[in-house]
Structure 1
Amino acid sequence: MNLHEYQAKELLKRYNVPTQDGIAVSNVDDAVNAYKQIAVDKGTKFAVVKAQIHAGGRGKGRMKEAPDQSGVQVVKSAEDVERVARNILGNTLVTIQTGEAGKKVNKILIAQDMYYDGPSERKEFYLSILLDRATKRNVIMYSTEGGMDIETVAHDTPEKIFREWVQPGFPLQGFQARNIAFNLGLSGAAHKNMVKFVSDLYNAYVGLDCAMLEINPLFKSADDKVLAVDCKMSLDDNALMRHTDLADMRDKSEEDPTEVEAGEYNLNYVKLDGNVGCMVNGAGLAMATMDMIKLAGGEPANFLDVGGTANAQTVEAGFRIIMKDPNVKAILINIFGGIVRCDRVAAGVIEAYKKLGNIHIPIIVRLQGTNAEAAKELIENSGLEVQSAILLSEAAELVQKAVRG
């Protein structure tokens, strides 16, 4: 589950991780009031307005209805804040990560200006924490080249990328935190502050059950303070049962509506760009089915795993979701009857077909396993335009005909 920058920073504060102050707002009047609290009341005129979407590259992005405006802008007056807020709120921000479709901005963060001293006195770093699956350990990846795309740094100057691995179940060791500060070229108060920052950040990563935690830029101010100016945080969905309060932070408006709907029915759904919708029980079988669709000359329109307890309700929900994609030219249902009985799935398919009605695309149902023959008989005697198959090769031939026909 991805979080917005303002949400992530609030969570970091629970672990004493210093962050750039800011106030999240959703309308222009609140933006002006927030500016007064963040800048004017603190004796400065500068602040930063940041669009809040689940995507990076906001500062280099562009607003669709105001192409000369980016998603991150420095302001120096209440009039500036009002103008920028009007340009961003409700507009669509296009970045390298969103694609041309972009994402609608419903909130902005009015944040304090951290660049109050000369550039020679301040520094920007990069730091992230995530699971390294190759070593089965958590890895802290960091670089002196902050504020840039880390992919570009890794490609052009890989020697500037450092790593520290931490064994799961063990805390970050003191010598590792000090090593990070040394490799970033810090000394004195800045070194001490970085050691504490990294230690607290790792505690936040573990305590919040993060899947990924990225700070870019990680900022050292002219007076040697170390703090997170930006933060991207992704939580492990499987651990949300331990954090019911965090689950409430989910912003469904940032997600694909069909994927949200699928989640409400406990369906694992990912939309793709193909022309053959597929409904399968089991992730492995779903991937094999997608390969089979490609071999048959089609392209998968989705990944849809209904799980091991498929019934009439889940089948109907799956149908509804797949049918919302106008690119779908055929639907392949591939069920292996292990825990679930094939005849029950067949009954669910027939019931869903009758309820939905007006289905004018070919539907191929391949059922194998428990009561597969009975399931095929049910479908063939239903009088519906549903084609049944038992062998995978049969299903492949039917998909091929549907795609070409």
Structure 2
Amino acid sequence: MRLHEYQAKQVFAEAGIPTPASALASTVDEAVAAAEEVGYPCAIKAQVHVGGRGKAGGIKLVDDEDEAREAAEDIIGMDLKGYHVDRVLVEAAVDFVNELYVGVTMDRGEGKPVAMVSTRGGVNIEEVAEEDPDAIAREHIDPAFGMHPYQARKAVYDAGVDRDIAGDVASVLTTLYELWDEKDGSDAEINPLMVTSDDEVVAADAVMNIDGDSLFRHPDLAEMEEEAAEDELEAKANEYGFDYVRLEGNVGIIGNGAGLVMTTLDLVDYYGGKPANFLDIGGGAKAERVTNALDMVFSDENVDAVVFNIFGGITRGDEVAEGINTALEQFDEIPKPVVVRLAGTKAEEGMEILNTDLVQVEATLEDAVQATVALAEEVNE
């Protein structure tokens, strides 16, 4: 479960991490009233689960009521990278002199949580990791003992954080790890953690992703789940019982099994495409479930072509083929081109059932992915 920024900041603030004064608004008038409440200058920030909101026009700094109204009118209701903005966070601006990054996630290669600190805050941390990995200090943590104080201090000093604020940054990092651990987090980060001229640190942004299977242990977070659902697609995924993550590309991906879907995502990227989603229909998927999966991917306006990757174990190829036919035959015109790769149990029977007037069939996964990427590129030419 991905928390919205305003939800993550609520969790952070309750744990003692400093955050700016803010208020949530869903109408222009509410946003203007909130701006008056928190004071000018302030930022009006779209509450959607995408990066690069500022560059896309989803965050605006305003200095008075007129600017606040204009910004709210621009942002509320906008389409931001395929997401409809229906709420904004109105937040007091921070007069900062520096921007840091702190984060906690799982390092699967090491099999341990890792705490990270960088003085290169305020920019895409993935780009920093790729271009200058030494700019991010990392400290692995034994989950049996938690983060020791010296580990937090070491990460902060290794990153080159100024000594005047090192103690406060280490405290924020420790609290972030404790939240990540207590709340069954998958990721928790602050980017940027702003440093003021008075040597105070403030969380100007907040990210926290929770393991959805752990929500029975966290009733407070479970109450946030419905609000955290980004849009109709995510709500529909919950209704259908799919493991679904919306991404920012244009190649729709459907598969049976998380590993198979992840492999397909990697191949789409390898062959120059951009994945639009992760959608796992699970093992033993019947025709109705396959129909629902196609309905979901077709509903994403960002998708230009769809690759269907099925390897039959429990899942039967003939059932999948029947579902694909059922889903596509209801259209007078197929909304997006579909490429299918079937292998495994009842794959030959499935290939015979498939209506090849409606789909393009490829024998291998590599061929299917390359064909889908090419079809998606044709749409944008």
**TM-score, reference length from structure 2:** 0.72
Is 1:47 the counterpart of 2:35? The answer is no
The aligned counterpart of 1:71 is: 59
Q: Distance in 2 between matches of 1:201 and 1:302?
A: 29
The aligned counterpart of 1:3 is: 3
Tell me: CA distance 1:286–1:131, structure 2 relative to 1, closer, same or farther (3 Å): closer
Give the residue type in structure 2 aligned to 1:72. Answer: K
The aligned counterpart of 2:379 is: none
Q: Deviations over 1:158-208 (max 9, x none)?
A: 543212211223321011122244441223xx4443333222121112222
Tell me: CA distance 1:166–1:386, structure 2 relative to 1, closer, same or farther (3 Å): same
- Cα displacement (A) at 1:21: 1.6
Asked if structure 2 preserves the Cα contact closer than 8 Å seen for 1:124 and 1:147, the reply is yes
- Cα displacement (A) at 1:283: 4.1
Tell me: CA distance 1:392–1:139, structure 2 relative to 1, closer, same or farther (3 Å): same
Residue 135 of structure 2, aligned match among 160, 167, 173: 160
Asked if structure 2 preserves the Cα contact closer than 8 Å seen for 1:278 and 1:301, the reply is yes
Secondary structure at the aligned position of 1:218 is classed as strand
Q: Distance in 2 between matches of 1:392 and 1:37?
A: 61
Asked if structure 1 preserves the Cα contact closer than 8 Å seen for 2:288 and 2:323, the reply is yes
Give the residue type in structure 2 aligned to 1:252. Answer: E
Q: Distance in 2 between matches of 1:89 and 1:194?
A: 34
Q: Deviations over 1:59-78 (max 9, x none)?
A: 3x254xxxxxx723142x33
Residue 111 of structure 1, aligned match among 77, 87, 91: 91
Secondary structure at the aligned position of 1:24 is classed as strand
Secondary structure at the aligned position of 2:223 is classed as helix
Q: Distance in 2 between matches of 1:173 and 1:34?
A: 40
- Cα displacement (A) at 1:10: 0.5
Q: Distance in 1 between matches of 2:311 and 2:201?
A: 54
Q: Distance in 2 between matches of 1:340 and 1:3?
A: 33
Tell me: CA distance 1:157–1:17, structure 2 relative to 1, closer, same or farther (3 Å): same
The aligned counterpart of 2:78 is: 91
Q: Distance in 2 between matches of 1:200 and 1:172?
A: 10
Tell me: CA distance 1:148–1:252, structure 2 relative to 1, closer, same or farther (3 Å): closer
Asked if structure 1 preserves the Cα contact closer than 8 Å seen for 2:41 and 2:61, the reply is no
- Cα displacement (A) at 1:32: 2.6
Secondary structure at the aligned position of 1:81 is classed as helix
**TM-score, reference length from structure 1:** 0.69
The aligned counterpart of 2:199 is: 224
Residue 171 of structure 2, aligned match among 177, 196, 202: 196
- Cα displacement (A) at 1:309: 2.5
- Cα displacement (A) at 1:50: 2.6
- Cα displacement (A) at 1:209: 2.2
Tell me: CA distance 1:78–1:204, structure 2 relative to 1, closer, same or farther (3 Å): same
Gapped regions of structure 2 (runs ≥ 5) = 376-381
User: RMSD across aligned C-alpha pairs, in angstroms?
Assistant: 4.5
Tell me: CA distance 1:82–1:283, structure 2 relative to 1, closer, same or farther (3 Å): closer
Asked if structure 1 preserves the Cα contact closer than 8 Å seen for 2:176 and 2:189, the reply is no
Tell me: CA distance 1:292–1:212, structure 2 relative to 1, closer, same or farther (3 Å): closer
Asked if structure 1 preserves the Cα contact closer than 8 Å seen for 2:103 and 2:176, the reply is no
Equivalent runs, 1:364-379 vs 2, <5 Å: 366=342, 368-369=344-345, 379=353
Tell me: CA distance 1:248–1:224, structure 2 relative to 1, closer, same or farther (3 Å): same
Identity %: 31
Gapped regions of structure 1 (runs ≥ 5) = 40-44, 64-69
Q: Deviations over 1:321-350 (max 9, x none)?
A: 46668855x9867452x4356666677667
Asked if structure 1 preserves the Cα contact closer than 8 Å seen for 2:48 and 2:230, the reply is no
**Bigger Rg, structure 1 or 2:** 1
Give the residue type in structure 2 aligned to 1:55. Answer: V
Asked if structure 1 preserves the Cα contact closer than 8 Å seen for 2:310 and 2:317, the reply is no
- Cα displacement (A) at 1:9: 0.4
Residue 247 of structure 1, aligned match among 225, 235, 238: 225
- Cα displacement (A) at 1:221: 2.9
Would you say how many aligned residue pairs link Structure 1 and Structure 2? 359
Q: Deviations over 1:334-374 (max 9, x none)?
A: 452x43566666776676677x37577899795743x7788
Equivalent runs, 1:239-388 vs 2, <5 Å: 239-243=214-218, 244-253=222-231, 257-258=232-233, 260-268=235-243, 273=250, 280-284=255-259, 304-321=279-296, 327=304, 334=310, 336=312, 338-340=313-315, 356=330, 358=332, 366=342, 368-369=344-345, 379=353
Q: Deviations over 1:300-326 (max 9, x none)?
A: 997654322322321332354466688
Asked if structure 1 preserves the Cα contact closer than 8 Å seen for 2:341 and 2:363, the reply is no
Q: Distance in 1 between matches of 2:276 and 2:130?
A: 33
Q: Distance in 1 between matches of 2:90 and 2:266?
A: 47
Q: Distance in 1 between matches of 2:266 and 2:173?
A: 44
Q: Distance in 1 between matches of 2:276 and 2:77?
A: 30
- Cα displacement (A) at 1:156: 5.8
The aligned counterpart of 2:378 is: none
Secondary structure at the aligned position of 2:228 is classed as coil
The aligned counterpart of 2:68 is: 81
Give the residue type in structure 2 aligned to 1:160. Answer: A
